[in-house]
Amino acid sequence: MAIAWTPNLSVGVNQIDDQHKIWFEKANELFEAGKAQRAKEYINTMIDFLDEYTKQHFRDEEAYMEKIGYPEIDAQKKAHASFIKDLAKLKSEYNESGGNLLVIINANKMVINWLTNHITTMDKKIGDYAKTL
- Domain ranges for the chain: 11-131
For residue 64, the SS3 value is: helix
Q: According to the model, what pLDDT value does residue 85 have?
A: 92
Q: According to the model, what pLDDT value does residue 25 have?
A: 86
Q: According to the model, what pLDDT value does residue 130 have?
A: 93
* Residue 5 φ then ψ, to 5°: -65, 135
Q: 58-67, 74-83, 108-117: which range is least confident on average?
A: 108-117
* Residue 18 φ then ψ, to 5°: -60, -40
The CA distance from 124 to 93, in Å, is 31
60 pLDDT higher than 90: yes
What does pLDDT average to over the chain?
87
Query: Closest Cα partner for 123 from 13, 4, 5?
Result: 13
Confidence of residue 63 (pLDDT cuts 50, 70, 90): very high
**Mean pLDDT to the nearest integer, 97-106:** 76
Buried b / exposed e along 34-44 (16+ C-beta atoms within 10 A): beeebeeeebe
**Mean pLDDT to the nearest integer, 91-105:** 79
- Under CATH, domain 11-131 is a member of which superfamily? Hemerythrin-like (1.20.120.50)
Percentage of the chain beyond pLDDT 70 is 98
Confidence of residue 129 (pLDDT cuts 50, 70, 90): very high
Q: According to the model, what pLDDT value does residue 79 have?
A: 94
Confidence of residue 57 (pLDDT cuts 50, 70, 90): very high
